[in-house]
Every structure is written in C-alpha cells, then in structure tokens.
C-alpha cells in the first residue's frame, strides 16, 4: 500500500478505499458488512 503512494501510483487519500485482510474469512465479513450499507461488491 505505502509503496503505491510513494511511487505516485495512488494518492494517500486513496488508501481509505482499500480494506486489507489476513484471511478469506475476514474478506467474507468485509463483504457482508458492505452489503448492509447497500454497497454491492463485484468480483473481477
């Protein structure tokens, strides 16, 4: 994440758009929470 900012690929504010997790279970929980707020996740 910080490397992308340091190399000018994204701005520091863009880091708020990412959620970094350590496991598949955490990723599923992040997706479930976002769904509660009307955010639809897409898999690419």
Left, alpha or beta for 43 (phi > 0: left; psi -120 to 50: alpha)?
A: beta
Tokens 């690419």, residue? 44
What's the pTM? Answer: 0.53
20: in domain: yes
In which band, very low, low, confident or very high, does the pLDDT at 41 lie, cut at 50, 70 and 90?
low
| pLDDT at position 23 | 96
* Full residue range of the structural domain in which residue 26 is found: 2-36
17: in domain: yes
42: in domain: no
41: in domain: no
pLDDT at 44 over 70: no
44: in domain: no
CA dihedral 27, 30, 31, 33 (to 10 degrees): 160
pLDDT at 33 over 90: no
E-assigned strands of 1-44? none
Mean pLDDT for all residues in the chain: 84
More confident residue, 4 or 22: 22
How many domains does the chain contain in total?
1
Tokens 């509660």, residue? 36
More confident residue, 39 or 19: 19
User: Do 5 and 24 meet the contact criterion of CB atoms below 8 Å apart?
Assistant: no
């Amino acid at each position: 994440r910080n490397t992308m900012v340091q190399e000018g690929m994204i701005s520091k504010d863009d880091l708020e758009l990412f959620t970094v997790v350590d496991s598949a279970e955490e990723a599923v929980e992040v997706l479930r929470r976002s769904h509660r707020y009307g955010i639809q996740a897409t898999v690419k």
